[in-house]
Amino acid sequence: MILLPAIDIHKGQCVRLVQGDFSTAHQVAADPLETALSFHKAGAKWLHMVDLDGAKEGRRVNEALFLKVARDSGLELELGGGIRTMEDITFYLENGTSRVILGSVALRNPQLVRQAADQWGERIAVGIDARNGMVATEGWLAGSNVSYLDLAKAMEQAGVRTIIYTDIARDGTLSGVNLEQLEALSKAVSCRIIASGGVRNLEDIQACKELGLYGAICGKSLYSGSLSLAEALETAGE
């Protein structure tokens, strides 16, 4: 299982949110590139980054920062937030990003997802973020009446091979991952599943591994010290 330390960017700073609420944003590290380099030094191979401003505004906002991290960190970069067009997808993938995450656009424009998956294959992931099992969009500011399982099945049909699932209620809370929903998702589709939201300690990493998940994203647990990245990487078996 791969482990992806997370850096969320808001107004150029490394921040964490609680349950996707922008009013809870607080800085957790001084410099994005230095933070990425520290993850690389600890043994990480992947980095998960989100353009929170981009997710909110529906466009690329902090692109220069992401290109710098992709170029200089030594990590494989997985990036989401504000990626809504083929131009956005191509821009990032042709400039050092290893995998892009399509979020809100997956619900609104599945044809774009299909086109992207046809062209870029495994370098396309879909992020499914849900409250009480129902998909949320636009940087988690808007809800929907679509089940996370139904969207996952539609994305599988569109050719998507990787799904990142976030239980918004647990994101940034250190309350543990939602194993029940992750297991249901894993059984519903053949896609590779990355767990996001609520990772607290090594027990969560072990539980995700035992579910046979492809990966797990760790954010607040690393910054708060409840999880050692080196120990988590060892537990994940990466």
- Return the H-helix or E-strand segment holding 204: helix 202-210
**Full pLDDT tens readout for the chain, 238 residues:** 999 999 999 988 888 777 666 676 778 778 999 999 999 999 999 999 999 999 888 899 999 999 999 999 999 999 999 999 999 999 999 999 999 999 888 888 999 999 999 999 999 999 998 988 999 865 455 556 899 999 999 999 999 999 999 998 887 788 899 999 999 999 999 999 999 999 999 999 999 999 999 999 999 999 999 999 999 999 999 6
Instruction: Count other C-beta atoms under 10 Å from residue 180's C-beta.
Output: 10
Which of 51, 88, 129, 167 is flagged as catalytic?
129
Structure tokens at 52: 């929170």
Domain ranges of the chain: 2-236
As to burial, measured by CB atoms within 10 angstroms (0-12 exposed, 13-18 middle, 19+ buried), residue 120 is: middle
Task: Return the pLDDT at 224.
Answer: 92
Considering only CA atoms, give the Rg of the chain.
16
The pTM of this model reads: 0.93
d(CA 156, CA 238): 26
Cβ burial of 234 (10 Å; 0-12, 13-18, 19+) is: middle
Question: Per CATH, which fold does 2-236 belong to?
Answer: TIM Barrel (3.20.20)
Q: Which residue has the tokens 């309350």?
A: 175
21 assigned to active site: no
**Among 122, 4, 127, CA closest to 136:** 127
Q: Which of 68, 84, 91 lies closest to 7, judged by CA?
A: 68
158-to-88, 113, 155 alpha-carbon distances in Å: 19, 7, 5
Cβ neighbours of residue 41 under 8 Å, at least 6 residues apart?
none
Is residue 88 part of the annotated active site? The answer reads: no
Please check whether residue 61 is in contact with residue 53, taking contact to mean a CB–CB distance below 8 angstroms. Answer: yes
| pLDDT score for 32 | 94
How many helices and strands in the chain, by DSSP H and E? 11, 11
CA–CA separation, 27 vs 61, rounded Å? 18
